[in-house]
Structure 1
Amino acid sequence: MTAAPENRHFRTLFLSDIHLGSKAARTDFLLDFLRYHDADTIVLVGDVVDGWRLKRNWYWPQGCNDVVQKLLRKARKGTRIIYIPGNHDEFLRSFPGVHFGGIEVAERIIHEAADGKRYLVLHGDEFDVVVRNIRLLAYLGDWAYDAAIAINVVLAAIRRKLHLPYWSFSAWAKLQVKQAVNFIGEFQNVVAEEARRNQVDGVICGHIHHATMEDIQGIRYINTGDWVESCTAIAEHMDGSFELISWQKIGATADVMPLLRAPDGAEDMRAA
């Protein structure tokens, strides 16, 4: 762990899959990240509020309020905030174009980067066959995911006591299952094809909790990751270049993990 970092300002920040209302949401990490990072525009790329879990069991601790208040405060200070709902907060899809406390709701947007390249921005659940066509199976998978996250919570507590950095069991386990790895690859290909149909240079999405930046047959595919497992965000610099930030915060120190180059040449994030 390093000393507290300097404040950083970006042209655009993309965050997704925060899952406020879930016991697994790392609101402490996110609040710390938002203290040190600001942007002209913040795009929330879906599943910010976990409506599925809140329907089953209401859970809204102070950390969830703090995240909402932090975002609203940024909006009042002039940051443009765009909220693209996902499947877990799909109740907001009935309000496209509506502003809530300065936060704009949109189904999807085309983001033009500083270098002139255009990116389709959407959550991505519409390309998940399980969520789209077999809703019951999706809910069952969600319950199984809760179990993996519960293990995460226990391991995180143990690692904190041992002064070890945060590590996600659920993210690790997901990447050990061949079917999950195949699903991630297929999801990326389908979303990239949607970008191609929209005649843009790339796509920025969330949904599958797998942060990465890579080129797929000429389309720049960027996934924001999540704030349950990997605690990641995508930042656009003033020159239009993108950075994947993994935020690992414990106590009064913070560590921004560098990107490692994957064997196939794609830029990817690897948890510590």
Structure 2
Amino acid sequence: MRRKRSVDLVVLSDIHLGTYGCHAKELLRYMKSIRPKQVILNGDIVDIWQFSKRYWPKSHMKVIKRLLQWTSEGVPVYYVTGNHDEMLRKFSGFELGSFQIVNKVVLDLEGKKAWFFHGDVFDVTMQHSKWLARLGAIGYDTLILINRAVNYLSAKMGRGKISMSKRIKNSVKSAVKFIGNFEQTAADIAIENGYDYVVCGHIHQPEIRQIRSEKGEVTYLNSGDWIENLTSLEYHRGKWRIYSYEQDLSLQAAPPAAEQEEPLDLRLLQQQLIHEFQLKA
């Protein structure tokens, strides 16, 4: 069995549990392969926009159980709200043991300030035409389903995978401009507020790069998603990196035994719940 990797901080975003495009099985394998000290869930974890009782596979529930397992072990888990799970914003400030629902997080990472938030606040469509954003989400999910069928046929023919949505994003000038503006806006605000790192999700574009302005510079990071890119951000021993499941060949080749679910310590979780309510009382 593959030994678990210790990671100081893991950032996951745009998982979209409850949708057909979510790669929950791959995510679960990744989650089981690491031992994080802190976890940031940077928005759009459960897709409440498209949630349906008719579609909630066991693999999606197992991802939730793994998160609960981490919290039962005392791992700090910050659930940063996004646009697809914006209903949770009314519960911002809620705490249960080591689990918190927040709209943003600021952490001290070895003397450097890191600002975490989802990023939909910079999306003009979200601000002025939410119905259009919801319609786009449905279209995006449909495109992902078509893409999976295309890749299945492509694999049968001995060809490699393609990403139709990536090709569209890279070929449409307005999409490229939006991503550039999004990153620059996040960086500018972070620089003005004296942050060393600004960490976002939302645009499904994994990235680590330095952004400079007249007022200074900041490291911009984006954790990507678990629809197309299957990526996360990992911070360990003072260094950031983008983790890519598709490049982790050893994890993909892990034997079936690695898929066995570890029992969730419900007793410990219950004790934390009782303790939390006692404190609130």
TM-score range, shorter chain: 0.7 to 0.9
CA RMSD of aligned residues (A): 2.4
In 2, Cα distance between equivalents of 1:36 and 1:204? 23
The change in CA–CA distance for 1:47 and 1:165 in structure 2 (over 3 A counts) is: farther
Matched-pair contact (CA < 8 Å) for 1:72–1:102 = no
Cα drift, residue 101 of structure 1: 6.8
Q: Which residue identity is paired with 1:226?
A: D
How far residue 220 of structure 1 moved from its aligned partner, in angstroms, is 0.7
The answer (yes or no) to whether the contact 1:165–1:248 under 8 Å persists in 2 is no
Paired with 2:98 and 2:81, the residues of 1 have a C-alpha distance of: 16
Matched, 1:108 2:104: yes
Q: Deviations 1:175-216 (Å, cap 9, x if unpaired)?
A: 222111111001101111221232211200100000000111
> In the alignment, is the contact (CA less than 8 A) between 1:122 and 1:205 conserved in 2?
yes
Q: Which structure has more helix as a fraction of its residues?
A: 2
Q: Which runs of 5+ in 1 are unaligned?
A: 256-272
Amino acid at match of 2:143: A
State whether structure 2 residue 57 is matched by structure 1 residue 61.
Answer: yes
- Percent identical across equivalent pairs? 34
SS of 1:175's partner is helix
Aligned to 2:21: 24
Deviation (angstroms), 1:169:
2.7
Once the two structures are TM-superposed, the CA of residue 127 in structure 1 deviates from its matched residue by 0.6
What residue in structure 1 maps to residue 260 of structure 2? none
Q: Measure the CA separation in 2 of the matches of 1:33 and 1:108.
A: 25
For these two proteins, the number of residue pairs brought into alignment is 249
Q: Return the offset for 1:7.
A: 2.4
Alignment of 1:1-272 (within 5 A): 6-54=3-51, 58-100=54-96, 102-114=98-110, 116-158=111-153, 167-217=162-212, 218-238=217-237, 240-248=238-246, 253-254=251-252
CA distance in 2, matches of 1:89, 1:95: 11
* Contact 1:118-1:202 at 8 Å conserved across structures: yes
- Secondary structure in 2 matching 1:54: coil
Structure 1 residue 156, shift from structure 2 partner: 3.9
Deviation at 1:135, TM superposition (A): 1.0
Gaps of 5+ in 2: 254-281
Q: Which moved more, 1:226-235 or 1:165-174?
A: 165-174
Please say which structure displays the higher CA radius of gyration. Answer: 2
